[in-house]
Amino acid sequence: MSARLANLWMPALQATIGIIREASSREDAAERIVLNLAQAQQASREAGYRDEQIDDACFAVVAWLDEYAATSQWSGRAAWRTAPLQRRYFDTAQAGETFFSRLEALPTQAREVREVYALVLLMGFQGKFAAHSRAALLDYRDAVLASLFEGTPPMPGIDEPLFGLGRYTQVATRVGVPHRITFAMMLVVLGPVIALLALALGYDGWLRQMAGAVLAEF
């Protein structure tokens, strides 16, 4: 592979935010979002990812964009709730539940796909956790992020930082993704040690973005 899978899907996530804010109707938004999803799928194929990897990544992204479109304040929200894209792509209306079962079924070796799911959680996806406390979602998200570091060497042939430098901070700011103070404290206290570990594992870009997003809250 020539690029991280998560980075290839980031443009579709970014574009969705702008589309939802500008679209005049559900049909207008869906048409433009479907085009962006197709571009992400094609870019993933060209980068050498397998169909099943692309399908897993697409599921995570579609689950997020359906939730974002259905909960944002815009004229097409009600229509989107009755016709989410998850029905078109995956013949389901239960992506909020299935997202987590699909993520948990991924083997440790499927790091590139798990990074996409982690990205979606960082973008504020709640799914079934919408009915639970915010702390439960944050605990789950933190565990997913921590699992990306568990004894897995950098992916061969991929040198670019996770999520692309600066991208996560920009998008998280736009959608208002919250972060825990405890995580900020961890970065301050354990920063040098974590930075060395991250460099060894190829997660320098992720740490820079997360640190920037957390520090931006103060």
- Domain boundaries, given as residue ranges, for the chain: 5-177, 179-217
pLDDT, tens digit, 9 for 90 and up, residues 95-122:
999 999 999 999 988 999 999 999 899 8
Q: What is the DSSP string of 160-193?
A: SPTT-TTHHHHHHHHHT----HHHHHHHHHHHHH
11 pLDDT more than 80: yes
Note the CATH number of domain 5-177: 1.25.40.590
pLDDT(63) > 80: yes
Q: Tens of pLDDT along 24-43? A: 899 999 999 999 999 999 99
* 164-215 per-position pLDDT tens digit: 434 444 444 444 444 443 444 344 334 443 443 443 344 445 544 543 443 3
Could you give the CA distance from residue 158 to residue 214 in angstroms, rounded to a whole number? 26
pTM greater than the 0.75 cutoff: no
Q: What confidence score (pLDDT) does residue 142 get?
A: 87
Can you give the pLDDT at residue 3?
85
